[in-house]
Amino acid sequence: MAMLKIPGYENQRPGEVPLSAVRDLLGDCRRCPLCETRTNIVFGDGDAYARVVIVGEAPGKNEDLSGVPFVGAAGKKLDALLEIAGLRRDEVYICNVLKCRPPSNRDPRPEEIAECSPFLREQIRSVWPDVIVCLGNFATRFILRTEQGITSLRGRFYETGHFHVLPVFHPAAAIYDRTKQASLEADFALLGQWLAEHPAAPAPAAGGVPVGEE
Ligand code: URA
């Protein structure tokens, strides 16, 4: 995958490039034909320092109109699932593999993913979370670099370098399928359990000197 150079932040370590710099580089993106049909670019939403990044597929109609990810029916489901994990929406960072809506919500195309995903990579590098939750096949394929389907992958954590990755069904798939709903609820309960068992490292004391070592 093409690596992006963020102007002014070329030699920064993970977590040191602000999301605003990634957004600035995306600009009024015309890198693929989805720019012709979109209303708004849907960059991402939530806590820029979150421990959990949620990656969806692509904006739908409501997201395209508002510029905010997961505000439609799937978004309501996502909010309820986050609650099971003990999280509020503003405590996580939510983004998508594609930043523009594919017409009629068709599947993302490989060439669209190739153009857009370097920005997702930089968003994740910027937030530098502990956990990435992949909603559905497209997010899972990109993050875990696998062709394996979500049905066989979901239900457990995977480790890739720094990240703990939890693939789950896409919440939209559960709107009409109660069995997927039960799996999603179990997987978000697992997320809550993981977070409880792995508390965030305490922030360094002012001046970077750990308390007790002055
Ligand atoms: N589905 C997605 O994958 N992303 C959104 O932002 C909304 C619906």
- 107-146 exposure pattern, b = at least 16 Cβ within 10 A, e = fewer: ebeeebbebbbbbbbbbbbbbbbbbbbbbbbbbbbbbbee
- In angstroms, the CA 91 to CA 195 distance is 13
* pLDDT confidence bin for 81, thresholds 50/70/90: very high
10 Å CB burial of residue 23 (0-12, 13-18, 19+) is: middle
Domain annotation covers residue 209: no
Share of the chain above pLDDT 70, in %: 93
User: Taking a C-beta distance cutoff of 8 angstroms, is the pair 173, 81 a contact?
Assistant: no
Atom of ligand 1 nearest to the CA of 135: 3
Residue 1 has pLDDT above 80, yes or no: no
Domain contains 104? yes
Using the atom order of ligand 1, give the atom closest to the CA of residue 62: 7
φ and ψ of 196, to 5 deg:
-65, -35
Residue 136 lies in a domain: yes
**Starting from the edge strand earliest in sequence, which strands make up the sheet with 158-160, in order?**
45-46, 93-96, 52-56, 131-135, 163-168, 158-160
Q: Is 58 in the pocket of ligand 1 (CB under 6 A)?
A: yes
Measured in Å, residue 114 CA sits from the centre of ligand 1 at 18
Q: Is the pTM of this model over 0.85?
A: yes
How many domains, in total, are found in the chain? 1
3-state helix, strand, coil in the chain (%, to 5): 45, 10, 45
CA of 6 to the centre of ligand 1 (A): 26
CATH number of the domain to which 155 belongs? 3.40.470.10
Residues in the chain: 214
Asked whether residue 7 is domain-assigned, the answer is no
**How far away, in angstroms, is 2 Cα from ligand 1 center?**
24
Q: Could you give the CA distance from residue 185 to residue 45 in angstroms, rounded to a whole number?
A: 22
Is residue 137 within 6 Å of ligand 1 at its C-beta? Answer: no
CB 64 less than 6 A from any atom of ligand 1: no
Residue 174 lies in a domain: yes
Q: Quick check: CB of 98 below 6 Å from ligand 1?
A: no
Residue 90 belongs to domain spanning: 19-197
| 207: in domain | no
pLDDT given for residue 124 in this prediction: 98
What's the CA-to-centroid distance between 126 and ligand 1, angstroms?
A: 21
Q: Is 13 a domain residue?
A: no
Query: Mapping DSSP to helix (H, G, I), strand (E, B) and coil, where does residue 106 land?
Result: coil
126, pLDDT greater than 90? yes
